[in-house]
Amino acid sequence: MAKKVLLIDDDKNAVKYLSVVLEENGYETYAAYDGREGLQKIQELNPDLIVLDVMMPKKSGFTLFKQLRRDEQYKNLPVLMLTGVAGVLEELDEESADTSARPFDSLREALRRTIREMRSEGLIKPEMFMDKPIDSAAFLARIQAMIGG
Protein backbone atom coordinates (compact mmCIF):
# COMPACT_ATOMS: atom_id res chain seq x y z
CA MET A 1 0.00 0.00 0.00
CA ALA A 2 1.31 3.33 -1.07
CA LYS A 3 2.61 5.70 1.63
CA LYS A 4 0.45 8.79 2.16
CA VAL A 5 2.24 12.14 2.07
CA LEU A 6 0.45 15.39 2.96
CA LEU A 7 1.97 18.55 1.42
CA ILE A 8 1.10 21.72 3.35
CA ASP A 9 2.21 24.93 1.65
CA ASP A 10 0.43 28.09 0.55
CA ASP A 11 2.58 28.14 -2.60
CA LYS A 12 0.39 26.16 -4.99
CA ASN A 13 3.15 25.83 -7.54
CA ALA A 14 5.41 24.25 -4.96
CA VAL A 15 2.69 21.81 -3.89
CA LYS A 16 2.07 20.85 -7.51
CA TYR A 17 5.76 20.34 -8.21
CA LEU A 18 6.47 18.23 -5.14
CA SER A 19 3.35 16.12 -5.48
CA VAL A 20 4.30 15.21 -9.07
CA VAL A 21 7.78 14.24 -7.85
CA LEU A 22 6.26 12.00 -5.16
CA GLU A 23 3.48 10.51 -7.29
CA GLU A 24 6.04 9.63 -9.97
CA ASN A 25 7.72 7.52 -7.29
CA GLY A 26 4.69 5.74 -6.02
CA TYR A 27 3.56 7.93 -3.16
CA GLU A 28 0.01 8.97 -2.57
CA THR A 29 -0.13 12.73 -2.13
CA TYR A 30 -2.57 15.18 -0.61
CA ALA A 31 -2.45 18.95 -0.46
CA ALA A 32 -3.39 21.67 2.05
CA TYR A 33 -2.82 25.40 1.50
CA ASP A 34 -2.60 26.83 5.00
CA GLY A 35 -1.90 25.67 8.53
CA ARG A 36 -5.50 25.35 9.57
CA GLU A 37 -6.43 23.26 6.55
CA GLY A 38 -3.30 21.23 7.13
CA LEU A 39 -4.32 20.20 10.64
CA GLN A 40 -7.75 19.33 9.41
CA LYS A 41 -6.29 17.09 6.65
CA ILE A 42 -3.92 15.38 9.06
CA GLN A 43 -6.80 14.38 11.30
CA GLU A 44 -8.82 13.35 8.26
CA LEU A 45 -6.18 11.35 6.35
CA ASN A 46 -3.72 10.22 9.01
CA PRO A 47 -0.72 10.54 6.60
CA ASP A 48 2.59 8.67 6.91
CA LEU A 49 4.57 11.91 6.51
CA ILE A 50 3.88 15.59 6.15
CA VAL A 51 5.87 18.10 4.15
CA LEU A 52 5.36 21.35 5.98
CA ASP A 53 6.24 24.84 4.87
CA VAL A 54 7.46 27.00 7.72
CA MET A 55 5.79 30.23 6.61
CA MET A 56 2.10 29.98 5.95
CA PRO A 57 -1.06 31.98 6.46
CA LYS A 58 -3.55 31.20 9.24
CA LYS A 59 -1.21 28.97 11.17
CA SER A 60 2.53 28.92 10.64
CA GLY A 61 4.39 25.69 10.02
CA PHE A 62 6.12 25.97 13.38
CA THR A 63 2.88 26.46 15.26
CA LEU A 64 1.39 23.46 13.60
CA PHE A 65 4.54 21.43 14.21
CA LYS A 66 4.59 22.24 17.93
CA GLN A 67 0.93 21.37 18.17
CA LEU A 68 1.55 17.97 16.58
CA ARG A 69 4.47 17.20 18.86
CA ARG A 70 2.34 17.90 21.93
CA ASP A 71 -0.39 15.60 20.61
CA GLU A 72 0.05 11.98 21.77
CA GLN A 73 -1.38 10.69 18.51
CA TYR A 74 0.93 12.67 16.21
CA LYS A 75 4.04 13.20 18.24
CA ASN A 76 5.97 10.65 16.18
CA LEU A 77 4.54 11.66 12.80
CA PRO A 78 7.51 12.24 10.46
CA VAL A 79 7.75 15.85 9.28
CA LEU A 80 9.93 17.41 6.58
CA MET A 81 10.02 21.20 6.92
CA LEU A 82 10.60 23.55 4.03
CA THR A 83 12.03 26.98 4.60
CA GLY A 84 11.57 29.75 2.10
CA VAL A 85 14.07 32.00 3.70
CA ALA A 86 17.33 31.39 1.97
CA GLY A 87 20.36 30.45 3.93
CA VAL A 88 18.79 30.09 7.35
CA LEU A 89 19.96 26.56 7.87
CA GLU A 90 23.48 27.18 6.70
CA GLU A 91 23.70 30.17 9.01
CA LEU A 92 22.34 28.16 11.87
CA ASP A 93 25.32 25.85 11.65
CA GLU A 94 27.73 28.76 11.59
CA GLU A 95 26.98 29.92 15.12
CA SER A 96 29.96 32.21 15.10
CA ALA A 97 28.57 34.21 12.19
CA ASP A 98 28.19 37.88 13.11
CA THR A 99 24.44 38.27 13.29
CA SER A 100 24.61 41.93 14.24
CA ALA A 101 25.84 42.77 10.76
CA ARG A 102 22.26 42.69 9.55
CA PRO A 103 20.14 43.99 12.39
CA PHE A 104 17.37 44.93 9.97
CA ASP A 105 16.76 41.34 9.07
CA SER A 106 14.46 40.56 11.97
CA LEU A 107 12.44 38.00 10.08
CA ARG A 108 15.43 35.87 9.32
CA GLU A 109 16.65 36.42 12.86
CA ALA A 110 13.29 35.38 14.33
CA LEU A 111 13.31 32.23 12.27
CA ARG A 112 16.82 31.38 13.36
CA ARG A 113 15.89 31.96 16.97
CA THR A 114 12.84 29.72 16.71
CA ILE A 115 14.81 26.94 15.08
CA ARG A 116 17.59 27.22 17.65
CA GLU A 117 15.07 27.11 20.48
CA MET A 118 13.23 24.13 19.09
CA ARG A 119 16.46 22.37 18.49
CA SER A 120 17.60 22.93 22.07
CA GLU A 121 14.28 21.49 23.26
CA GLY A 122 15.02 18.40 21.20
CA LEU A 123 11.98 18.96 19.04
CA ILE A 124 13.78 19.23 15.75
CA LYS A 125 16.91 18.12 14.03
CA PRO A 126 18.69 19.83 11.16
CA GLU A 127 17.97 16.90 8.86
CA MET A 128 14.25 17.69 9.15
CA PHE A 129 14.76 20.83 7.08
CA MET A 130 15.08 21.53 3.41
CA ASP A 131 15.77 24.92 2.00
CA LYS A 132 14.06 26.20 -1.17
CA PRO A 133 14.60 25.99 -4.13
CA ILE A 134 14.12 22.27 -3.76
CA ASP A 135 15.93 19.81 -5.92
CA SER A 136 13.60 16.96 -6.91
CA ALA A 137 16.17 14.14 -6.49
CA ALA A 138 17.37 15.36 -3.10
CA PHE A 139 13.78 15.76 -1.97
CA LEU A 140 12.85 12.24 -3.01
CA ALA A 141 15.95 10.78 -1.38
CA ARG A 142 15.10 12.51 1.89
CA ILE A 143 11.50 11.22 1.86
CA GLN A 144 12.62 7.70 1.12
CA ALA A 145 15.15 7.88 3.93
CA MET A 146 12.42 8.92 6.33
CA ILE A 147 9.59 6.56 5.51
CA GLY A 148 10.99 4.25 2.91
CA GLY A 149 9.57 3.85 -0.56
Positions that interact with other proteins (CB under 8 A): 10-11, 13-14, 16-18, 20-21, 24, 35-36, 53, 55, 57-59, 84-87, 101-102, 104-107, 109-110, 132-136
Shortest distance, CB of residue 22 to other proteins, whole angstroms? 12
Whole-number Å distance between alpha carbons of 77 and 112: 23
Shortest distance, CB of residue 89 to other proteins, whole angstroms? 13
Closer by beta carbon to other proteins, 46 or else 110: 110
Whole-number Å distance between alpha carbons of 11 and 32: 10
End-to-end CA distance of the chain: 10
Shortest distance, CB of residue 19 to other proteins, whole angstroms? 10
Q: State how far Cα 24 lies from the chain centre.
A: 21
CA-wise closest residue to 48 among 76, 70, 17: 76
Closer by beta carbon to other proteins, 36 or else 119: 36
